[in-house]
């Protein structure tokens, strides 16, 4: 059976997410930018109104403001985008169970055999796009083909809100005239190497003898030669290979601190956040690492191992231990961070001595409790419920 692969690429994702909760940004030039207060910040995502003025991703804020003085800049809120991304993926999973998330705003869908459910590929893509627009108020482009590479190339061809089909038989006509630089996976360096071989279009790349190519490009040559011919057998694999390796948060303190109790509160607050994120991604980690940046910017990281967990209490307990052991208390601290990593896939439902002998705390119960807190926070806001130690005293 011919495979059907979609690439769904969210358009101007960060700024579009912001627009969903700040409708006043719609229709005017706006961008998400790292620390807009500093002129050194960069543009992370610009909306299409701003792009008309030539504002691009990674451009400095100063440069963007020069090109478009009335641009509205919004500071990034990554956990919000993560949540939106999760909603997008959830919506997509209603169309096919085989989804490979490539990044926060992109995913491949294996739609092979889904015609009965969703209709012909183009019709299915139209439904997905409308669904994302109506339910989440976000834009996307969709590339349709029979493999991941061509689907990706197709999605790039028409943005925003474009649906493009690029089947193998379309390759000579639609793909070959393109510059090799437009090819997914080819950067400036490879493009330069190819230019030295007088290869400038994807068509020229497709027709060259791969043996000649491999002299310059090594193992990579075979792969790009295949792709230039529209061949890519890589399956759509649920869970992207570059899956999350760690979850961490850090914070620069309003003023440098020297007090252990205060530092513990910061660690506590950050631990709550990463535990919440770990639970949302169904991850349990076994390595806890803390980062301490002293006022002179010297930074140390220290880590320890614990039993796999997604509970704030376990994470903060390990964090406290690391903090007490490693913080040179003569030195004021300007930044504290904590992360959890070492996620493992566990197909074993291992019986433990603790449940057998009924000692220690009941982790199953505690996870239920923390998950309930998560739901309350998602509904009413992060600061609405927290540990008593974190309640800020009313100055009056």
Partner 1 sequence: MKIIVLKQNLMEAINVVQKAVMTKATLPILEGIYIEAGEKVKLIGNCFDLGIEYTLDADVQRQGSVVIEARMFGEIIRKLPDAPVYIEVLEGFKVRIECLNSYFEIRGMDGDTYPMPPVYDSEFTLSLPQAVLKELIRQTIFAVGNDENRKIMTGVLMEAVQGELKMAALDGFRMAVCSSVIKEDVNFKVVIPGKNMQEILRVLETSEDAVTISMAGSLVSFDLKNCRIVSKVLEGEFMNYSSYIPAQFETVINVNTRELEESMERASLITSEDKRYPVRINLSYDKMVISSTTEKGLSKEEIQIENSGNTMQIGFNPRYFLDALKVINDEKIKISFTSPVGPCIITPIEHDRFLFLILPVRLKS
Q: Rounded distance, CA 261 to CA 251, Å?
A: 16
Of 103, 299, 354, 372, which one interacts with partner 1 (CB under 8 A)? 354
Between CA 204 and CA 355 the distance in angstroms is 65
Q: How many positions of this chain bind partner 1 (CB under 8 A)?
A: 26
The secondary structure of 108-142, three-state, reads EEECCCCHHHHCCHHHHHHHHHHHHHHHHCCCEEE
103 binds partner 1 (CB under 8 A): no
C-alpha distances (whole Å) from 371 to each of 279, 338, 362, 377, 378 are: 7, 20, 14, 10, 11
Contact 307, 286 (CB under 8 A): yes
- Minimum CB–partner distance for residue 358 and partner 1 (Å): 11
The reply to whether 361 sits near partner 1 by the rule CB under 8 A is: no
CB nearer to partner 1: give 348 or 388: 348
Smaller CB distance to partner 1: residue 116 or 359? Answer: 359
Q: What element of type H or E holds 156? A: helix 148-157
- Under 8 Å between Cβ of 165 and 154: yes
Residue 255, Cβ density class (10 Å: 0-12 exposed, 13-18 middle, ≥19 buried): exposed
Minimal distance, residue 109 CB to partner 1, in Å: 22
- Give residues 290-349 in contact with partner 1 (rule: CB under 8 A): 300, 302, 304-307, 314, 317-318, 321, 328, 344-349
Q: 184, 158 in Cβ contact below 8 A?
A: no
105 labelled ligand-binding: yes
Minimum separation from the CB atom of position 301 to partner 1 (A): 10
Residue among 183 and 322 whose Cβ is closer to partner 1 = 322
Q: Which of 18, 49, 100, 106 is catalytic?
A: 106
Of 77 and 366, the one with the shorter C-beta distance to partner 1 is: 366
353 makes contact with partner 1 (CB under 8 A): yes
9 is in an annotated binding site: yes
Q: How far is the CB of 16 from partner 1 (least distance, A)?
A: 36
- CA-closest candidate to residue 47, choices 29, 23, 73: 29
**In angstroms, what is the minimal distance from the CB of 304 to partner 1?**
4
Q: What is the full DSSP assignment across 93-113?
A: TTT-S-EEEEETTEEEEE-TT
Q: Is 56 left (phi over 0), alpha (psi -120 to 50) or beta?
A: beta
Single residue of 116, 359, 388, 391 touching partner 1 by CB under 8 A:
359
Report yes or no: 27 and 15 within 8 Å, Cβ to Cβ: no
For partner 1, which is the closer residue by CB, 302 or 387? Answer: 302
Q: Which of 23, 215, 254, 351 binds partner 1 (CB under 8 A)?
A: 351
Exactly one of 234, 352, 378, 385 binds partner 1 (CB under 8 A); that residue is 352
Examine the residue annotation and report whether 106 is marked as an active-site residue of this protein. Answer: yes
Please state the closest distance from residue 305 (CB atom) to partner 1, in A.
5
Instruction: Determine the Cα–Cα distance for residues 210 and 287; give it in Å rounded to an integer.
Output: 45
* Nearer to partner 1 (CB atom), residue 155 or residue 292: 292
Q: Which residues are catalytic?
A: 106
| Residues placed in the known binding site for Mg(2+) | 9, 105
| Residues placed in the known binding site | 9, 105
Binding residues (CB under 8 A) for partner 1: these are 300, 302, 304-307, 314, 317-318, 321, 328, 344-354, 356-357, 359-360
């Amino acid at each position: 059976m011919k495979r059907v692969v979609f690439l769904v690429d969210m358009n101007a994702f960060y700024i579009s997410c912001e627009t969903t909760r700040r409708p006043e940004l719609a229709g005017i030039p706006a961008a998400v930018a790292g620390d807009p207060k500093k002129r050194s910040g960069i543009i992370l995502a610009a909306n299409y109104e701003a792009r008309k003025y030539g504002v691009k991703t990674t451009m400095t804020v100063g440069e963007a403001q020069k090109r478009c003085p009335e641009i509205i800049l919004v500071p990034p809120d990554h956990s919000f985008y993560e949540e939106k991304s999760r909603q997008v993926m959830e919506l997509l999973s209603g169309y096919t169970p085989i989804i490979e998330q490539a990044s926060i705003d992109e995913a491949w869908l294996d739609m092979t055999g889904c015609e009965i459910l969703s209709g012909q590929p183009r019709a299915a893509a139209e439904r997905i796009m409308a669904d994302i627009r109506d339910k989440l108020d976000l834009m996307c482009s969709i590339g349709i083909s029979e493999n991941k590479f061509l689907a990706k190339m197709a999605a790039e061809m028409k943005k925003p809100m474009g649906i493009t089909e690029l089947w193998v038989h379309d390759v000579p006509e639609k793909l070959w005239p393109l510059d090799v630089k437009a090819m997914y996976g080819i950067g400036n360096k490879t493009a330069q190497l190819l230019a030295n071989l007088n290869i400038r279009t994807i068509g020229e790349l497709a027709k060259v003898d791969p043996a000649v190519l491999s002299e310059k490009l090594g193992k990579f040559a075979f792969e790009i030669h295949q792709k230039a011919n529209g061949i890519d057998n890589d399956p759509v694999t649920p869970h992207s290979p570059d899956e999350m390796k760690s979850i961490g948060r850090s914070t620069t303190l309003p003023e440098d601190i020297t007090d252990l109790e205060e530092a513990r509160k910061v660690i506590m607050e950050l631990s709550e956040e990463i535990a919440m994120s770990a639970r949302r991604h169904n991850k349990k980690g076994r390595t806890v690492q803390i980062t301490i940046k002293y006022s002179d910017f010297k930074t140390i990281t220290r880590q320890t191992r614990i039993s796999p967990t997604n509970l704030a209490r376990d994470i903060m307990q390990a964090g406290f231990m690391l903090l007490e052991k490693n913080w040179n208390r003569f030195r004021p601290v300007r930044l504290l961070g904590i992360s959890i990593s070492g996620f493992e896939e566990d197909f074993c439902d291992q019986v433990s001595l603790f449940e057998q002998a009924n000692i220690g705390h009941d982790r199953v119960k505690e996870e239920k409790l923390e998950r309930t807190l998560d739901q309350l926070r998602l509904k009413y806001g992060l600061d609405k419920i927290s540990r008593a130690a974190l309640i800020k005293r009313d100055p009056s």
